[in-house]
Amino acid sequence: MRRGSILQLVGLGVLFGGAATLVAVLIPWLPPVASKQRDRIDFVFWFTTGICIAVFALVAAVIAYSLIKFRVRPDDDSDGPPIHGHTGVEIVWTAVPAILVTAISIVSSIALVKNDDAGKDPMNVAVTARQFSWSFTYPGEDDLTSAQLRLPLGKTVKLHLRALDVIHSFWVPEFGQKQDAVPGQDTSLVITPTKLGTYPVICTELCGLGHALMRTSAIVMKPAAFQAWVREQKNAASGPPGQAGQAVFTSNGCASCHTLKAANATGTTGPDLDKLPAYAKQAGKPLEDFVKESIVDPNAYVQPGFPKNVMPPFSTLPADQLDALVTYLIDSSKRGGQ
């Protein structure tokens, strides 16, 4: 090959490689990074993307060069020269991709193993997925339960996922990992938050009618603020019955679907809880039994005008929390209904 041709090829390669690099770098393809695990995943991503850009530049340059250089001239009816392969080139284009793919798999394996390592002393959080809500329980904090995932900055957390009904999948884009929650199986996910903020928790496995609404927040807090929140929640749970009931109402996400004046809740997916006494009358059941049944087994009676199978059964709620919630709902609805 002449020197001029090589220069032309290199020029085309730089052109295509530069264009692809600009597309990769200038457009914000990925959400902001908020965990150590996401950092490692992004490293694998950019490592692979770099290789892809190099391969693309090479292939595009050769194609463009050939199209320009070897295109058929007018009145040229002759056949091309008979070519029968080239062993050297074939060895190169087999060996180089094999090396690249092996390199990617080694880098990915290291990232995967590191991302699965929770270290010596992780904070454990039990994640419960059900149609169509999340709840988070902190076994190290007297089973404190919350509808949002609150995490202290910089602390490695091991999430233990379980599903009560169908397969769901836990995903916080900023944390960078997805993990299925499968009925009858224990799955886990390690997160080390590196950035304060509020991020969406998304269910990323089609799980039924309410799949798209199965969302909550992951809130990364300063460690001191996290401890203050834990104390506050514990005090609320052990405080007077009304306060404990309201804490259960809030931490289980009831407000996202229901209206209840006492809790400033304005959801409209499910029945208006300020009307519980009237609903119980319609159902022909004593108020307390009716409220309890509607929490534990919501499909036993569904208020006309509202869809069936939307509210998840809260049958795993501890007895004291259930009682506090029932008392709170009855008191509030009696006041709210007036």
Q: Which residues of this protein are in contact with ligand CUA, per CB under 6 A?
A: 129, 132, 168, 203, 205-207, 211, 214
Q: Which is nearer to ligand CUA, 17 or 210 (CB)?
A: 210
The DSSP element (H or E) to which 191 belongs, if any, is strand 187-191
| Alpha-carbon span 265 to 282, nearest angstrom | 23
Q: How far is CA 202 from CA 172, 177, 189, 216, in A?
A: 6, 11, 15, 7
Least distance CB 182 / ligand CUA (angstroms): 12
State how far the alpha carbon of 120 is from the alpha carbons of 117, 124, 142, 157, in Å: 9, 12, 21, 11
284 Ramachandran zone, left/alpha/beta (phi>0; psi -120 to 50): left
Complex with ligand CUA: residue 61 or 129, whichever CB lies closer: 129
Tokens representing 198 are: 């509020």
Beta strands 149-152 and 177-181: pairing type?
Answer: unpaired
Q: How do strand 215-221 and strand 197-203 relate by DSSP bridges?
A: antiparallel
Q: For residues 291 and 258, give the distance between their C-alpha atoms in angstroms, rounded to a whole number.
A: 14
Give the nearer residue to ligand CUA in terms of CB position, either 102 or 309: 309
Q: What are phi and psi of 284, to 5 degrees?
A: 70, 35
Which is it for the CA torsion 164, 169, 174, 177, positive or negative? positive
- If the CB atoms of residues 134 and 290 are measured against ligand CUA, the closer one turns out to be 134
> Which one, 88 or 184, has the nearer CB to ligand CUA?
184
Cβ 167 to ligand CUA shortest distance, Å: 8
Smallest gap from Cβ 127 to ligand CUA, in A, equals 12
**C-beta closer to ligand CUA: residue 207 or 221:** 207
Looking at the Cβ atoms of 103 and 212, the one nearer to ligand CUA is 212
Three-state SS at 276 = helix
Minimum distance from residue 29 beta carbon to ligand CUA (Å) = 24
Smallest distance from the beta carbon of 163 to ligand CUA, in angstroms? 8
Give me the least distance between CB of 58 and ligand CUA, in Å please: 42
What six digits make up the tokens of 46?
A: 């950019």
13, 59 Cβ separation under 8 angstroms: no
| Nearest-approach distance from CB 169 to ligand CUA, in angstroms | 7
Nearer to ligand CUA, 215 or 285 (CB): 215
Nearest approach, Cβ of residue 203 and ligand CUA (Å) = 3
Residue type, 11: G
152: enclosing H helix or E strand? strand 149-152
Which of 61, 214 has the CB closer to ligand CUA? 214
Per the CB < 8 A criterion, the answer to whether 115 and 156 are in contact is: no
Distance CA 167, CA 172 (A): 17
Report the nearest approach of ligand CUA to the CB of residue 111 (Å).
26
Contact by Cβ (8 Å): 216, 148: yes
